[in-house]
Amino acid sequence: MCPRFDDDVQSQLESSRRRGRPRDPELEGRVLDAAVEEYAERGWAGLTMDGVARRAGVGKSTLYLRWPDKGTLLAAAVEAIATPLAPSDTGSLRGDLELLARQLRAWYADPRGWAVTRIWIDAASSGQQVGHFVDVVNNHYRPAALALFERAVERGEARADVPAQLVVNSIYGVLFMYASMRPWDEDAPDPDDEGLVQELVGFWMRGMAPWLVNGAEGSGTV
């Protein structure tokens, strides 16, 4: 039904080119851009397949030829948008964590970042067609965060059995909470506040102190 997801790379290469008119390669980008623009302008409720088609200069049938429904189209658009977080090596675990925290709060502050999160939640709870979308999140975001700990182990800052998953979930989770409260709760701390970042990183470092080689980090004053 949807060749896009069924085709294996093998068959594509095997027969050189499939018969019939090939798909317009630049069309997908045009549509995905149009979808994101429409979403940005009108929100989810105002996102219309006809609207996307019109903006992209495309027939509605072409949309449904490539994406089975509106949700999938938006997911694909979001996936195309979602550049993975890949905090560069700052030379220390603490520095890497600070960088990740700042990138993450920037990501959540971006409407597109929120859109990704929201679709991900919806997918998770609907339990349908999640397989593919889960990979997006898992493959794009998690490895980048885990790599940070691998570097720390290599550096000799942390023991190999550091509970990276737990810490990564804590990082994503707490920043998600701050971000979700921020838009409307005036009393909530501003995640842009550098002080908050420091506070958080300190909290995480102390939390995983037992696995850190230099145990001095984990205790003492704030």
CA distances from 124 to 63, 104, 119, 138, 190 (A): 24, 20, 8, 12, 28
Residue type, 27: L
Q: How far apart are CB 10 and a copy of itself at their closest, in Å?
A: 26
8 A C-beta contact, residue 189 and residue 177: no
What is the DSSP-derived secondary structure letter of residue 85? P
Burial of 187 (0-12, 13-18, 19+ CB in 10 A): exposed
Indicate whether 97 belongs to the interface with a copy of itself (CB under 8 A): no
Candidates 181, 192, 193, 194; binder of a copy of itself (CB under 8 A) is 181
Q: Is 207 in the site for a copy of itself (CB under 8 A)?
A: yes
The single residue among 61, 83, 125, 219 that binds DNA, judged by CB under 7 A, is: 61
- Identified binder of DNA from the candidate list 11, 12, 43, 46, rule CB under 7 A: 46
Smallest distance, Å, CB 75 to DNA? 12
| CA atoms of 58 and 34, how far apart (whole Å) | 10
Can you tell me whether residue 182 is helix, strand or coil? coil
Window 68-97: contact mask with DNA (x via CB under 7 A): xxxx--------------------------
Residues that bind a copy of itself (CB under 8 A): 43-45, 71, 114-115, 117-118, 120-122, 124-128, 130-131, 134, 138, 163, 165-167, 169-170, 172-178, 180-181, 183-185, 189, 196, 199-200, 202-204, 206-211, 215, 218-222
